[in-house]
Amino acid sequence: MLFKRVGQSKAPQRSALLALSLVVPSLFLSACMSSPEKDINLSTYVDQTEPADVLYNQGLANMNAGRLDEASKKFDAVDRQHPYSEWARKSMVMGAFADYRKGSYDDAISSAKRYLALYPSTDDAPYAQYIIGLSYYKQIKDVTQDQKEARQTLQTMQDLVTRWPNSEYVDDAKEKMRFANDQLAGKEMQVGRYYLERREYIAAVKRFRTVVENYSNTRHVEEALARLTESYYAMGLTSEAQTAAAVLGTNYPDSPWYKDSYKLLQSNGLAPRENAGSWISKAGKLITGA
C-alpha cells in the first residue's frame, strides 16, 4: 500500500513537470517575440564572456589590420567588462590611439584625458598626453580661421615637455609647438595686415608688436618688423620706424623686408637707426634670427 501510494503520487508530479517544461520555453519565446527591444545581443554576450587579455589582443590584431572600428570596440569591451584591471588600463590608452588613427579626435582626447586622470604616474602617461597634443594638432586650421586648436596644441605639448622631459615624444612635441607658434604668429600678422590696409595704424602696430615680443623665433618676425617700420612711418613716429628697420637689418641683413624698409626711410632722407630706449630695441635682443 505504501509503495503504491508513493508510486501513484509521483505520476502527477512527472506530468506537472513535463507540462511546465513545455510551457516555460514557449513563454520565453513568446516574450522574446513580443519584446524585440529586449533581444539578447549575442556578440555582446560573447564579448562579456571572453577574458580581458583575449579581448585586448584581438584589439591589437584589428588595429594592425587597419580595422580601427573593431579595434575600438574590443578595447572598449575590456574597459567595460574588466574595469580597473591592468588590461583595462592598457586598453584605455590604446583605445585613445585607435580613435586618433581613425580621426575621432574628440573621442581620443576624452579617452586620453580620462587615462591621465586615473593613471597620471604610469609609463604610458606621457603617451596619453602626446595623443591629446596630436589630436589638437591635427585640427589646426588655416590662419584665416580661429587658432584655438593651435593654442591647445602649444599648451598640451608644453605640458608634455615640462612633465616628462626625457620622454621619447619630446622631440616631436617641440616640432609641433614650433608649428603652433608659427600659426599663432601668422594669425596676428593676418589681422595686423587687415588693419594696416585700412590705415588703422594703432591696431596694426598692436598686432605686429605681439609677433615681435611673443613669437620672435618664428618666420613672421621679419615681416612684423617691416610692417612696424611702415606703420610708424605712416603715423609720423620716425624714431620708432628707424628703430624697427635697424633691428630688422641687424638680425636679417639680407632680408627683402629689410631692403623695402630701408628704401621707405630713404625716400624721406632717413636711415635705420636704433633707439636703445625703444621697446623694439629691447625686444630685438630676443630675436634668434641673427
pLDDT at 78 over 80: yes
Q: What is the mean pLDDT of the chain?
A: 86
CB-based burial of residue 234 (10 Å sphere; 0-12 exposed, 13-18 middle, 19+ buried)? Answer: middle
Confidence of residue 127 (pLDDT cuts 50, 70, 90): very high
pLDDT at 150: 98
Give the residue-averaged pLDDT of 134-153: 97
CB-based burial of residue 19 (10 Å sphere; 0-12 exposed, 13-18 middle, 19+ buried)? Answer: exposed
pLDDT at 47: 44
Contacts of 279 (CB under 8 A, 6+ apart): 209, 213
pLDDT at 147 over 70: yes
Share of the chain above pLDDT 90, in %: 79
pLDDT at 36: 46
SS in 3 state form for 87-130?
A: HHHHHHHHHHHHHHHCCCHHHHHHHHHHHHHHCCCCCCHHHHHH
pLDDT at 24 over 60: no
pLDDT at 281: 95
pLDDT at 46 over 50: no
Confidence of residue 273 (pLDDT cuts 50, 70, 90): very high
pLDDT at 10 over 90: no
Q: Identify whether the C-beta of residue 229 lies closer than 8 Å to the C-beta of residue 206.
A: no
Share of the chain above pLDDT 70, in %: 82
pLDDT at 37: 46
Q: Identify whether the C-beta of residue 230 lies closer than 8 Å to the C-beta of residue 264.
A: yes
pLDDT at 9 over 70: no
Rounded to an integer, what distance in angstroms lies between the CA atom of residue 124 and that of residue 130?
Answer: 10
Confidence of residue 50 (pLDDT cuts 50, 70, 90): confident
pLDDT at 215 over 70: yes
pLDDT at 287: 87
